[in-house]
Structure formats: structure tokens, C-alpha cells
Structure 1
């Protein structure tokens, strides 16, 4: 107990005739004495500004070291196509054959993909083409946190690219981007929310699945018809 009294009088300044600064005894000790409360919590750095143009976005995607794909080997396959394209096609990631070719939808899947485009009156040079992941991860497996990151990134991409319609290919793409996470169906147009509003999207099977399950081509065709009707009312 004597030690407590001595500490009180020391804090009161009895050991000195004049204090350097007044002391507010009604304040909490942690507020009076920062040294007793420990170091202040570090201030988080401000989030970097998002790209505001499509060109700036593509440059950021190609050079930013914080992109999740930087952890994996392989050369990124970047998005292609013009802004305000009549259709933007989004897939999940490059296939094994794509990495060697340096382009999405190479090999047999690419032949089928081109046939799908011809069926709706389009070709590759008229569309915008992108994948959620620009590099295929080892084993084709991704973590949920990475999928959420690239889904947010794609919403920004769609906003800046401003396509007239979207075509989402594959179950993983659809689950990441559509609000209901629905599997491919023939229900026509789905609303896709991006950073600047809403654009209509058609969801269907990936060509890689159609190669192994030809019966799914019928459902795929029904989905693509929604795009044909949109372009030719």
C-alpha cells in the first residue's frame, strides 16, 4: 500500500516544484500516458485507385505484382477485343492447350468455340474475349479467395469495356459472376451487375465440356438463341 501512495504523489508532481505541462487527472491513464498504453495501431495505407479506362485496366492487369496469377508459372493470356463490343465472352481460365498457343480457346475447344460464334453471326475479331484468371494455376485448382478477387476484377473490366451483352462459359465462371450462382440453363438472359450498372448475360456450357458431352449442345444452342434474338429482334 505505501508504494501505491508514493506512486500517486509522484504522478501528482510532488517531487518537483514546477511541472513541464499541466496534467488532466480526469483522463484515463492510457490517454495521459501513451507509453503505458503501448504503441498506437498502425494506419493502413490507402487502397490504390482503380483504373478508370480500359487501356489503364489492361496495363494494370499486365504489370501489377499483386495480381493472384503472379504466384503461378506461365505467361498471362490477356483480354482481347475492342471496347463496346457487341459481345464479351468470359471463361474461367486458359486450358492447357491455350498456354502453348498464347490465346484462349485453342485446339479442339477453339474450333467448337468459333462454330458457336458463327452460329450467332459473330467472329473472334468482333468480340471481346477474357478469362477470370489470365494464367492457369497448377492442376487448374483455385482458392475461393482468389476466385472472389478475380470476380471483382472482372466486374471492373466489364464496366470499362462496356460490351452490349455477355456470354459466360462454364460452371465456375457462372457461379463466380451471376448473383444466384446458377448452373448453365436455357432461361435466357441473366442480369450481371458490374461497377457501372447492369448488362444482360447468357450463361452456357464451356466448349471443353461440350467435347465430352455432345448431348449438352442442345441446351447450349437454346442459350445462344437468346443472343440471336437480341441482335435480330
Structure 2
């Protein structure tokens, strides 16, 4: 396991704040050892949680140009036909993955291909499972085409998330499972597939980025 580069500054700042807090607690409350050690214990647990949020676990990725691989860890919360109004402007099959704060938050390319769109949108911070989160929340939309089909992936900030990071630019050639970006502290990723695509996951299923097969391309 390694730590994602997006987390290094956050982890360093958290460590510094907690260290100063505990120094102050032990200095001013030295006559209340139970409280001092309790606060230290809570600080350690919180610090370890922050570190774990930015973890990149070692895992064997699945590569297959005929498959759409999960771009994120989390739980499947939507599988439905809907109208995608930003890029395709027609009916698509939407599959959504909700990422809790405990999930790995690295986002990966579901297919290999050329980046046709990479667009950031400022917005609200509705809870990630809200029906309007896809169109009203802070989000970043990416479209990747492999010559046979185009897949849209949308990173959506949740109620806790305040920063979406995306590394892709229009015209880039990207590989399946390569890092697409990162979302801090709870979020969601939507995938828009051609109608009729065979979906290999079910509602409430837990998926793992880079490993779980979301769908099979025609």
C-alpha cells in the first residue's frame, strides 16, 4: 500500500494540528491524565483514518478492451436508462458508484482510448445519492472513446467533498485503469454507457476500482 500524492499535504497538516493540540492538552491538563490520554487516543484514530483515506492498495488490475472496468471502489446505487444532457444529449445507460469516506478514492479509466472531453463544473454539495447530484453538484465530466464506442465518466462531489481532481485533458491517449483523478472525502462516480450494453453488476453490489467488470461492450 502507498499514499496518494493528493493526500501528502493534508496528512502533514493533520499531523501538525493534532501534535500541537496534544502538546497543549498535556501541558494545560497534566493533572487530568485520563482526559489527556483519551484525547491522544482519539487523535491517533482520527489521524489513521485520514491516512487510510488516501491509501492506494496493491491490487492486480483487470485489463480487457471488451470490458468496462469499475473506475472507483464503492457500492452500485443506480442502474437505469436516462437522458445524458451534457455530451451525448440522448438516452444512455447510467451506472453509479457511491464512495463512502472509508472507500479508496482513486478514480481510474474504465476503458482505454482518446479523451474527447474533460470539463469541470462548479456546483452544489448535495448528498451524493441525491437524484439531482449528477447535474447540480460540483462535478467533472470525462468522455473516452476507443474508436468503437464512447464512455462518459462523471466524478461528482458529495456533501463532504470539496475538491475534485482530474488529470485528463482533451486529446490525451489513456490506458484502462490508469489514474483519472481523485475525489476527497465522500463522493460518487457515474458511468454512461450505450443503451443495450450488457451490465455485469447489480444494485447494492460492492465493486473495486480496476478489478470489477461493470459491463461488456458490444
TM over 0.5: no
> What TM-score do the two structures reach when normalised by structure 1?
0.22
The higher-RCO structure (CA 8 Å, 6+ apart) is: 2
- Bigger Rg, structure 1 or 2: 1
> What TM-score do the two structures reach when normalised by structure 2?
0.23
Higher strand fraction (1 or 2)? 2
Higher helix fraction (1 or 2)? 1
